[in-house]
Structure 1
């Protein structure tokens, strides 16, 4: 108990320091014993901490307007590299009330990262996640990734199946989910990789938190929406990858191709027998030696097939488009069907490289275009089913692996503003 009490006391002091330093941007030096879990000996006895307060405002189609503030705390090692990042934030949304979030990323080396996210709202929503990545095993020939999460999203939407579902069919529900995703990737030589993985999710569907919208089963029958009463997925996965990236974390040059086969097996506890096939192609094309202008593209095709009409694929396991990483002019999970075809294209333009509060960051603007459609299969593909989402992104990058972004996309149902970490693809 003494150890647990000591750790709790140190964490309380850490949060108090965050609250104090987060009121203004500054560079501070803090004794390492006051920063438990997010420092080690490489940070020295007096740890350099740069705090940067930032406002937050987002307007996504599902959640509506979210506003608030965060303070990013960048903890440096003795080589003046960012060893870890801590970002507490407080947001307000009329559907969920106040939401407190603590995000953290620890980078003991360029090859190993631990991330966590702890979030709780006054109403409905919560999100507890942890992610681990290590690509330095066996002299860089083996990469391990692990993700575990437990969350509830009371803003989830369902409009029906196929590409032409109208806004008038919009319904709301809470997606409550326990999930994990494990993978191991081996270097086969000549830029080829083999990935083996396993994905698990246990999903329950509850009433949503958005006033004025009907619950999903008020408008759609349970028989017509497989999985609306909850479902479980056990999905082993195999992928063959070809990559010419210049770096694994934030590439600026090269190409990437991946083919994935992922069956969900009823005998392992899955809701039904079905299969995902996915092909993804990505490329980075710099236009000058300094890589200030880089064209980045992604093309994806996903197909979901059930073994029989009796094995109906749960609606959240089908091929889905919409949200901050696919069609950025729409809310998450806006379009659902048996397959999708997606093209993302953006020009990442580095405006300047600026040292702010002793942190060197690349500030970018990225005009983009998203084009995608869901369909039963490629044989039923029609140009009229495609959604075209132009937009513009703003990014701040601290290498080797920190990206903050704001993406503004425009779809037929209005604009969407997404704020988050990491590139969309």
Structure 2
């Protein structure tokens, strides 16, 4: 069953590709940009680069450089009205106050030389000591609990954060007095190379994709490290050794696997339906995908698992103002494999980019990243993107929009138990700045019963 999903996609891809003949650009006609956006699209090759002053409640304040080099071609190129670009090279480097650091290189070539093929190459090297872990089952849907005391719960993250920093007597294998300030955190170090290709079918609305990814991952928890602490008698700030982390505790109790890290080899396959008119910032269209990741010792991996993710997005321009778009997304995923490593529960893979599950900027913006984790999950997002103003400074064009949003989702230990009970929700507002149409700067403020969080990054949430 696990291998059959990936094998079916691959065999289907080979059969269709051999059957298709490329004789014109008719397969891409459905993706024509709106006349308004087409009139503003810039010709030729250009570069956008901004200092990376991002902000995330988990990784902290970040600074670095985010760059995109676009090859748009000339207006007389037959592909010009139908593609966001002929090619894009992304190069990002960032450092965060949490001591996280990241280098990302990505090349994207849609409709290579006017054919039905699209190629992507991604490389990433990152180290993040601020990853969060609250558990790996649907019990995470409950209120926040201290790693050392599951009987005490907290309704807000602020209360929880103060309680875990409060000094407590150490247990077995711990110092005399310890703090739990870092007990929900772990460090991840990752090196990743990903190669993908997809092929447009028929009239271009359907695509099939195949890819290969190889990663090396390593993990560190913070037992015994000096960390923030609060004296329970005086209330004064101090420092103390950190206690045993929740991730380490669950690993030693045999509840999770993968904390030792290692090599992960993955075959990726996807079936995609896409009618969006402009991928970075659509005004209309639909996007649907069935995506699968297969990892096994038979392809050189140290882990066996199969991940299935289904996602749908819809964009509709409304007759309000000059450019008002109602955008919505629904996603559902499941991990197969009795011993799937814990880190595979942290995201859902999509050809459009992995999605943190569940919590954070990409799913529930009022909750911390990975706040809710289990084998199965679903989530939804709705945004109203209202453009307020546009301006041009030299050759640079900018557009400004607001985007109120609503998010919801839940997790389960079995996909058969997914339903609409015990749903977590968040809501908030965002600001969008479109730079030369293709580069979208996003500012989001999310609110939930548990937290209030601010995010800044490049690109839409979906």
2:185 match: 172
Aligned-residue offset at 1:249: 3.7
SS at match of 1:328: coil
Does residue 102 (structure 1) correspond to residue 132 (structure 2)? The answer is: no
Higher strand share: 1
Q: Which among 268, 272, 297 is matched to residue 237 of structure 1?
A: 268
Aligned-residue offset at 1:333: 1.7
Aligned length, in residue pairs: 343
CA distance in 2, matches of 1:293, 1:90: 28
Which structure 1 residue ranges, 5 or more long, are not aligned? 1-78
CA offset digits 1:182-221 (Å, max 9, x no partner)? 2101111131111111222221111359745753445433
Q: Which among 73, 77, 86 is matched to residue 49 of structure 2?
A: 86
1:394 match: 431
- 1:288-307 paired onto structure 2 within 5 Å: 288=319, 292-306=323-337
SS at match of 2:416: helix
SS at match of 1:228: coil
TM-score, length-normalised on structure 1? 0.74
Larger RCO, structures 1/2 (Cα 8 Å, 6+ apart) = 2
CA distance in 2, matches of 1:362, 1:179: 34
2:341 match: 314
2:389 match: 352
Contact 1:250–1:399 (8 Å) recurs in 2: no
Distance 1:134-1:181 versus aligned 2 partners, 3 A rule: same
CA offset digits 1:250-287 (Å, max 9, x no partner)? 32111111111221112222232211111111110111
Aligned-residue offset at 1:379: 2.4
Contact 1:163–1:385 (8 Å) recurs in 2: no
1:381 match: 418
SS at match of 1:321: coil
CA distance in 1, matches of 2:137, 2:261: 21
Does residue 254 (structure 1) correspond to residue 285 (structure 2)? The answer is: yes
Does residue 196 (structure 1) correspond to residue 196 (structure 2)? The answer is: no
1:424 match: 461
Which structure 2 residue ranges, 5 or more long, are not aligned? 1-41, 73-84, 148-182, 230-241, 348-356
Aligned-residue offset at 1:180: 2.1
Q: Which among 371, 374, 396 is matched to residue 408 of structure 2?
A: 371
SS at match of 1:220: helix
- 1:260-299 paired onto structure 2 within 5 Å: 260-288=291-319, 292-299=323-330
Aligned-residue offset at 1:382: 4.7
Query: In angstroms, what is the RMSD of aligned CA positions?
Result: 2.8
Contact 1:231–1:314 (8 Å) recurs in 2: no
CA distance in 1, matches of 2:265, 2:276: 31
2:351 match: none
Does residue 153 (structure 1) correspond to residue 183 (structure 2)? The answer is: no
Which stretch shows the higher mean deviation, 346-355 or 362-371?
A: 346-355
SS at match of 2:138: coil
CA distance in 2, matches of 1:392, 1:128: 29
1:221 match: 251
Aligned-residue offset at 1:383: 3.6
CA distance in 2, matches of 1:390, 1:103: 28
CA distance in 2, matches of 1:384, 1:94: 28
CA distance in 1, matches of 2:272, 2:263: 28
TM-score, length-normalised on structure 2? 0.68
Which stretch shows the higher mean deviation, 145-154 or 164-173?
A: 164-173
